[in-house]
Amino acid sequence: MTDTEKYDRQLRLWGEDGQAKLEKSHICLINGTATGTETLKNLVLPGIGAFTVVDGNKVGASDLGNNFFLDTTCLGHSRALKVSEYLRELNDRVKGSSCEEDPVALISDKITFFKDFDLVIANKLPEQSLITLAAYLYENNIPLLIVNSYGYIGYLRIVTPEHQIIESKPDTPLDDLRIYNPWKELEVESDNVDLSNMNAQQHSHVPYILLLVKFLKEWRNEKNNGKMPETRAEKDEFKKFFISKSHNSDEENFNEGVKGLFKYLQPPRVPSEVEAILNDPKTSNINQQSDDFWVLAAALKQFVDQHKVLPLPGNIPDLTSDTITYVTLQKLYHDKANADLEDFNTKVESIVSNTNRQPIPSDSIKKFAKNSRFINIIRYRSLNDEYTIPNTSVIQSEIEMDNNSNVNFYLVLRAVEKFNQTHNRYPGASDEDVDSDVPLLKSILATILSEISISSTIVKDDYITEIIRYGNSELHNIASLMGGITSQEVIKLITHQYVPLNNTFIFNGINSTATPFKL
């Protein structure tokens, strides 16, 4: 059982199901820097299951200037050990451990260390080790988040082959009410509405759903040869017809109907994200090894092929109505949703038995059916692809649109990592190198740009001097901001709710702008 009292404010977002997934997760952090501990802080607080910090460093003086999970007594001790200790204090339900080995050595000597984690967060990892780790985790289906804070700039990249989302929870979803395509019982219910025998009170309390269904049918048959209103003019005609049925402009139920009219006069459509899942090769190649998600998607495809619509979610919004009519209408939708679910369930069961695989829990089936409009899948490009088959067109068009685009910082940060790989130090790390590092970094950037077939003059020198000025400094504010962003993406990845970033994010702390890129 979770702690519903302590977690109340977050359970209202991701529910007990999301919470259970968090509590089962074991997350690895590479390097207990300020950025690293700020990320973990926001995951320990809401209650992940466990974390492990890998860090070979000892606590130094500068750690005390930016890392909140250390204090003066920690100087000289293992940073992995100390930050784990202080992070654990945030939540007694979370297990925390530390590994005092150098992550670079661990990756080259014993990479299997990482195979049991549910997710890995890497910070300040040299490029070569990062590429090795990223390839290993990609192969093993373990999400990797690469996060760095560099002066006023923040960088985040998410890498995982495939991420499945069952509840994308959009801000303002359009209710599926089947006004355009009512099922039989709804049509009968609306046919039975007899406005002529109603007093004023009753007349103004017929739910607009019934009014729209009723008058759409009437209008179609009387005025449009049975055809639905398609053109703008036809829709306007219908609107006038609908309004003419009201007693006066104060009838809230009619006003609600007019307000929703144009969005409900659209033919039912499977959202493009869902369409893509239905047409995915994985949906048509179900076998014993297929994930639950793809088995459910295959059943959904059969459902849509047969009914031409997605299963009805069955919830209706609050709308002007008297209590009894509302409750009756609610039940009508509820019954239809149950019927759809039963049909969907049968399809799932037959796939399960045909492929001889494990049955799927009924809660999962129900959740999938209810959220079938909101399922989504993201396939991230691997880091190796980003480096070897660069997405030149994205970078090119970003800069062409705005030569001060934040993509400039992505490019100079790539150069900074390459610089570190070559010189074993960061540009501008000490005061005396600030000026002499400019031509060095510039030539490295030119090499990177030529590899991605972009003109070397496209990035202004200002970006090079500014990034050298930072000299690998980690400001607490930027670390904390990136820790916030990163932890939020981790929560989305672990709970399979909401839609995570795809795939790169730059925060520009100079003017407080931020840009996502698909690289």
Partner 1 sequence: METPMATDAGQYQDIQGRWTDIEKIINRGGPMADFVPDTKETPNIKNGIQNDFKILVIGAGGLGCELLKNLALSGFRNIDVIDMDTIDVSNLNRQFLFRRKDVGKSKAEVAAAFINQRVAGCKVTPYKCKIQDKDEDYYRQFKLIIAGLDSIEARRWINGLLVNLVVVDNEGNPEPDTIIPLIDGGTEGFKGQARVIIPRMSSCFECSLDAFPPQTTYAICTIANTPRVPEHCIQWALIFGLEDKNLTKPFDPKKFDNDNPQHMTWLFETAKKRAEDHNINGVTYKLTQGVAKNIIPAIASTNAIIAASCCNEAFKICTESSGYLNNYMMYNGVNGVYTYTFEYEQKEGCAVCGTNIVTYETEPTITLSTFLENISQDPRFQLKKPSLRSNGRNLYMQGLLHEATVKNLEKTFKELNVSEADEINITDPSLPGNLAIRMKIIYKKN
Calpha distance 335→338 (Å, rounded): 5
Stretch that binds partner 1, among 23-31, 139-147, 222-230, 317-325 (CB under 8 A): 317-325
Peptide bond between residue 503 and the one before it cis (omega within 30 degrees of 0): yes
Question: Cα separation of 183 and 337, whole Å?
Answer: 11
Question: Does 480 interact with partner 1 (rule: CB under 8 A)?
Answer: yes
Check residue 516 for interaction with partner 1 (CB under 8 A). Answer: yes
Shortest reach from residue 164's CB to partner 1, in Å? 16
Helix (H) or strand (E) holding 193: none
Residue closest to 184 by CA, chosen among 208, 206, 211, 213: 213
Secondary structure (DSSP) of 3-17: -TTTTHHHHHHHHHH
Alpha-carbon gap, residue 189 to 414, rounded angstroms: 64
> Least distance in Å: CB of 42 to partner 1?
4
**# of chain residues touching partner 1 (CB under 8 A):** 86
Nearer to partner 1, 359 or 516 (CB): 516
**Does 97 contact partner 1 by CB under 8 A?**
no
Binds partner 1 by CB under 8 A, chosen from 112, 225, 356, 512:
512
Residue in 174, 276, 327, 389 binding partner 1, rule: CB under 8 A: 327
Helix (H) / strand (E) element for 153: namely: strand 153-159
Tell me if 465 contacts partner 1 by CB under 8 A: yes
Q: Which is nearer to partner 1, 164 or 355 (CB)?
A: 164
265/148 Cα distance (integer angstroms): 48
CB of 450 to partner 1, least distance (A): 24
Of 38-46, 122-130, 253-261, 283-291: span binding partner 1 (CB under 8 A): 38-46
Q: Is 420 in the site for partner 1 (CB under 8 A)?
A: no
Pick from 12, 244, 248, 267 the residue near partner 1 by CB under 8 A: 12
CB of 453 to partner 1, least distance (A): 27
Which of 446, 439, 490 is closest to 120 using CA atoms? 490
| CB 169, CB 284: distance < 8 Å | no
Candidates 302-310, 354-362, 414-422, 474-482; binding stretch for partner 1 (CB under 8 A): 474-482
In the numeric block, the tokens 């088959």 are attached to 389
Side-chain-side CA neighbours of residue 289 (13 Å): 2
CB of 497 to partner 1, least distance (A): 10
501 contributes a contact to partner 1 by CB under 8 A:
yes
> Exposure string (b/e) for 237-250, b if CB count within 10 Å is 16 or more?
ebbebbbebbeeee
Residues numbered 128 to 157 that lie near partner 1 (CB under 8 A) are: 151-152, 156
Residues 6 or more apart whose CB falls under 8 angstroms from that of 13 comprise none
- CA 397 – CA 169 distance, rounded (Å): 31
CA 430 to chain centre: 39
Residue whose C-alpha is closest to residue 297's, from 321, 274, 322: 274
CB of 92 to partner 1, least distance (A): 8
SS3 category, 54: strand
Question: In terms of CB distance, is 41 or 301 closer to partner 1?
Answer: 41
Cα gap 99→145, rounded to integer Å: 19
Paired sense of beta strands 376-378 and 163-165, if any:
antiparallel
- Note whether 354 binds partner 1 by CB under 8 A: no
Q: How far is the CB of 66 from partner 1 (least distance, A)?
A: 5
CB of 486 to partner 1, least distance (A): 8
- Tell me which residues in 41-70 interact with partner 1 (CB under 8 A): 41-42, 45-47, 60-62, 64-68
Among 192, 199, 249, 511, binds partner 1 (CB under 8 A): 511
Task: Work out which of 1, 9, 289, 401 binds partner 1, going by CB under 8 A.
Answer: 9
H or E element, residue 75:
none
Alpha-carbon span 398 to 407, nearest angstrom: 7
Which residue's CB is nearer to partner 1, number 162 or number 435?
435
Question: Minimum distance between the CB of residue 154 and partner 1, rounded to whole angstroms?
Answer: 10
Q: In degrees rounded to 5, what are phi and psi of residue 492?
A: -65, -40
Nearer to partner 1, 250 or 431 (CB): 431
Q: Are 448 and 414 in contact (CB under 8 A)?
A: yes
Interface residues for partner 1 in 179-238 (CB under 8 A)? Answer: 205
- Indicate whether 313 belongs to the interface with partner 1 (CB under 8 A): no
The tally of CA atoms less than 13 A away on the side-chain side of residue 181 is 10
**Is 309 an interacting residue with respect to partner 1 (CB under 8 A)?**
no
Segment near partner 1 (CB under 8 A), from 6-14, 117-125, 291-299, 441-449?
A: 6-14
Span interacting with partner 1, options 130-138, 190-198, 319-327, 446-454, rule CB under 8 A: 319-327
Segment 481 to 500, residues that bind partner 1, using CB under 8 A: 481, 483-485, 487-489, 491-492, 498-500
